[in-house]
Structures are given as C-alpha cells and as structure tokens.
Amino acid sequence: MDPKQMRPATLAAQAGGVIDMQSGGIVPPIQPSTTYARDRDYAQINPDNMYLRYHNDAVRQAESVLAGLEGGSAALLFPSGMAAIAALFRSVPNRGRVVVQSGIYWGTTLWIRSFCERREIVLCEVDASDGAALAEACAAAPAHLVFVETPSNPWMKSVDIAAAAQAAHGAGALLAVDSTAATPILSQPLSLGADIVMHSATKAINGHTAVLGGVLVARETTPVWEMILEDRGAAGAVMGPFEAWLLLRGMRTRPQRVKAMSANAMAVARFLDDHPAVETVLYPGLSGHPCHALAARQMSGGFGFLMSIVVRGGREAALRVAGRLDLFHRATSLGGVESLVEHRPTLEPQSGLPEGMLRLSVGIEDQRDLIADLAQALGQ
C-alpha cells in the first residue's frame, strides 16, 4: 500500500512502510556514519548521501512519517523544538514584522522577544484566542509571520486556525502553528489553512521522555521553506541518526498512546473540576472551558494530555500538593507515557502565572490510580 493512502495508525505502526531490504529486517535500520564514500571515479556510491549534516536515512524516514501524519508536503527535523522555532524565525528579514500569540510557552516568548530585538523585527504580541484581536493585529500592517500555539501551554487556550490563516494571509504573512499539545493525531492545522506546523518532538511525538527534537512540516514547499532547509544544513541545526531512529521507534505507537493519554486526561479533568481544593481547571475538554466549542470543532479523538489547575491557597498550597503526589513525577516536560506535575511559576517567575498553578501532563497509567493519587495529595 502506498504510504500516502495509509491512515495515521497504520502509517505510524508501519514506520511509513520502511523495510531494510538488505537484511530483510522489519525495523528501520540506523546508519551512524557522519560521511559517505565515493567510488574510484569519485561518484557518490549512494547519490542521496554525502555528509551527515545534510543526509541521513533515519532522519529522512522520520521526516517522511511526520509529513504524512500532518498531511504536509515536507518535514524537517531539528535537534530541539526551540531549534525548529529559531529556524522558522530566521526566515523573517531584518526589520520585518511578526505577530505572535501571547501566553504561550514562556521559553518561546523569551527567545522570540530577544531575537526580534536583535534583528530589529517589529513584534506584536496578541491573545490569539480572541479572533477579533488577532485579526486587528494582522490588519494593522503587513507581516511576514504569524505564530500561534494551540492548545497553548500552560493556559490551554485554543486558536481558530482557519480564521488565523485568513488573517495572516491577508497581511501577506505565513501562519505557523505550534501543535505540540495536540499532536497530529488530534489536530491537523495544515488542513485548516496553516502554512507550517511545528512540534517539540521531545514531547508526545516521541512519548518516552528520551529524545530531544523538533520538527517543522510544510503544507507546500515555498521559497521560504527552501530557505529554512538550506539554513538548517548550513548552520548545522540537524538531528543525529540515533535520535531520529529513537523518534521513529516511539512514533510507531503514538496514535494509541495519545488516545489513551487523552482519555485519562478527560477523566482526571472531570475529577478535579469537582474538587473543593481546586479553584480552576484549564482543560479544553471540559464543557465549561471558554474554548471548548472551538477545540471540539478542530480537534478529533480527544482534547489532549495536558492541563493546568489552580490550587486554592496559592503557592504554598500548590507546592504541598505537588510534594504529596506519588505517581505524578515532579519534573519538567510533557507528553510522555508517565504522568508529570510541574509548578510553572517557580520556573517562570516573570510570566504572570497564578502562584497556585500546577501543570499536569497525563500519561498512560490506569486513570483510577492517577485520580486516587490526586485525591490523596489534595486531601480527599
């Protein structure tokens, strides 16, 4: 079967249809060489491979699967999610203009602010979950790039991707969507009009908390995309073959992992929503969430594995709850098979987050055990 005709679960499980034809192995092979030989006439033995900074089979295989899962024409892997974002923003010319969603991952915000200041790029930050505000920001002046994150981390706000694409294109800009918290299993930004979708592959794409990586997937291979491709190789922002092999290995179970995590997260969110020690639950799967209707419209198969809660009593109460948890590991990151808890205000003291906020990444454990762990930590 042509990989383009495979449904997501089949495409992932089959690793894009890759078989090692030399050995017959059904697991894609890994070639760690940093350089590739030429014959006595100085022709490349494999015309696709010259040097690791540009060419590696494991990287190409993982990129092919990711492009297929997103419905894109091409994908590029990077050594981290931030490296992918940096490559995207380096395509913006000096003294250009970008529109960026506020309240997204703090590391992204800090880097973009610093980068734009250095390059004299006009930066407009706007709450993109407010469609009218985003449209107004885009209409104010021509732009090169509009960057949004949906659902956002840690506020869990959703952005209307189709409306954002219309606003961005009206300003002459590309729309890039950070879809890390949704994954290609739950959301397809390119089908809704986005030009580029970005993921921190460190998270649920790998799913085993053992690979650092990032990816950009393009709807079409435009001149901007070619610029990013050339910049990646020349600047050396590449993923190594072992990491790409591990990433491809993790992706083979991703559809099942993400669906199980999403189902667990929904059960956990419902439990927390009724708990007297919890002031607020931020999870788009809850009917009372302000972005629930939008999330339901542009996500399928679940609402993701990530949520934030605000514990009554502020910072000290939230830290006490985190300290009592047994199954939720106190660690930074999200999207792995194990559940994690994080007090984001400790790491982001200047971000304006409520001091009682805890971010939960829900894994694939039995949801009854996760709920029991939260119950005892919260005091019920």
- Is 105 annotated as catalytic? yes
- Is 53 annotated as catalytic? yes
Closest listed residue to residue 307, CA positions, set 275, 266, 271: 266
Among residues 57, 105, 157, 254, the one annotated as catalytic is 105
Residue with tokens 């205000």: 345
- What secondary structure, in 3-state letters, does 249-268 show? HHHCCHHHHHHHHHHHHHHH
Among residues 36, 53, 270, 320, the one annotated as catalytic is 53
- Is 249 annotated as catalytic? no
Among residues 97, 203, 249, 257, the one annotated as catalytic is 203
Among residues 97, 157, 160, 178, the one annotated as catalytic is 178
Spatial contact of 205 and 254, defined as CB atoms under 8 Å apart: yes
Known catalytic residues are: 53, 105, 178, 203
